Amino acid sequence: MSNPPAQSQPYPGREDQLQPPADHGERSYRGAERLAGKKAVVTGADSGIGRAVALAFAREGADVLISYLEEDDDAKETARLVEEAGQQAVLVPGDLADPAHCRAVIERAKESFGRIDVLVNNAAFQMSREDIVDIPDDEWDRTFQVNITAMFHLCKAAVPLMQAGGSIINTASIQEDQPSPHLLPYAATKAAILSFTGNLAKMLGPRGIRVNCVAPGPIWTPLIPATLPEEMVEGFGSDTPLGRVGQPAEVAPAYVLLASDEASYMSGANVPVTGGKPII
């Protein structure tokens, strides 16, 4: 697609207001039973990268629990795509900033699936602020609660339900490596996710549970016009070597690889999907 025009949305953003619409792989993704029989939990799965991952997982043969904040219409569309692929979709709305809700998400997966084979920690919060004095205290706290603290509570609850061969995949960001000043709290959480992922991979390795992360670059999702100024949205992604914004459908295959048995010796890895911006 061409680079997006200036636009804005109320937080947390909606897919049906995104111009042009994002591509989640609805018409392009073809599964090959790489995740046949697996049970997956995907947070932030109502839209954006989360929806693309849920769609790809389902077309690869996995049942998917769709964790999301409050965007019911978007979440129902993700569930429709999962069910259209012949897989079970479980919708669980709620705020992952609440540790009790994190535990409730995993409990629902236990009730619905009996186990968890893949946990994708993808939900995230960000806001753009030009100066540190402009960042409200509660906004700083929420960014950490949603982006990294929730990851801890979800992993802590999920690991007892995972067997050898299980996979945890965390969504990091190019912001971990090339932080933007206007995204100070968000970038800090993404750097923390990188450390958390590597350390947890060491901790869970003896149990045969793999832990990796994916680091997307500029990807076209509702979070962009819902959290960035219009002037930053216009041409978003044009500064990459590939010269354009990325689509959620272009990120999802990295998650499929890390969730699959093909990645049986990949743990502690960070997979960049950045349009050519290097993470070295």
Beta-carbon contacts of residue 56 (< 8 Å; ≥ 6 apart): 25, 29, 31, 252, 253, 255, 256
211-244 burial: b if 16+ Cβ within 10 Å, else e: bbbbbbbbbbbbbbbbbbeeeebeebbeebeeeb
* CATH number for the domain harbouring residue 257: 3.40.50.720
Establish how many alpha carbons lie within 13 A of residue 25's alpha carbon, considering only the half-sphere containing its beta carbon. Answer: 28
Q: What is the pLDDT of residues 222-270, one digit of tens each?
A: 999 999 999 999 999 999 999 999 999 999 999 999 999 999 999 999 9
| CA 260/CA 169 separation, integer angstroms | 11
Place of tokens 């960000």: 126
Residue 10 lies in a domain: no
Please state the domain count of the chain: 1
With respect to residue 182, please indicate whether it lies within any of the assigned structural domains: yes
Active-site residue, from 11, 29, 68, 186: 186
Q: Are 82 and 41 in contact (CB under 8 A)?
A: no
Quick check: is 144 in a domain?
A: yes
What is the DSSP track for 143-162?
Answer: HHIIIIIHHHHHHHHHGGG-
In this structure, is residue 253 part of a structural domain?
yes
Would you place residue 17 in the very low, low, confident or very high pLDDT band (cuts 50, 70, 90)?
A: very high
**Does residue 56 belong to any structural domain of this protein?**
yes
Check pLDDT > 70 for residue 1: no
> Which residue range is the domain that position 228 belongs to?
15-273
Q: Is 25 left (phi over 0), alpha (psi -120 to 50) or beta?
A: left
Q: Is residue 192 part of a domain?
A: yes
- Kindly state the tokens that stand for 169: 């995949």
pLDDT for residue 12: 87
Tens digits of residue pLDDT in 116-141? 999 999 999 999 999 999 999 999 99
- Residue 278 lies inside a defined structural domain of this protein: no
Q: Is residue 4 part of a domain?
A: no
Instruction: Give per-residue pLDDT as tens, 21-51.
Output: 999 999 999 999 999 999 999 999 999 999 9
Query: Is 255 tagged catalytic?
Result: no
